[in-house]
Amino acid sequence: LKFLFSNRTRTKSKTTLFVFIRAVILRDDKFEDLKVLSGESAGRADLARDLEAAHALIARLRADLDEALAALRDERKRHR
11: in domain: no
64: in domain: yes
> How far from each other are the two terminal CA atoms of the chain, in whole angstroms?
84
Q: Is the pLDDT of residue 59 over 80?
A: yes
59: in domain: yes
Q: At what angle do helices 28-44 and 47-78 cross, to 10 degrees?
A: 80
Domains identified in the chain, total number: 1
Q: Is the pLDDT of residue 42 over 60?
A: no
**Interval 31-55 mean pLDDT:** 68
Could you tell me which residues come within 8 angstroms of residue 48 by beta carbon, excluding any fewer than 6 positions away?
A: 42
Give this prediction's pTM. Answer: 0.39
Q: What is the pLDDT of residue 70?
A: 92
61: in domain: yes
Structure confidence at residue 51 as a pLDDT band (50, 70, 90): confident
Amino acid found at 31: F
Whether residue 26 contacts residue 34, with contact meaning beta carbons closer than 8 Å, is answered with yes
21: in domain: no
Domain interval for residue 45: 28-78
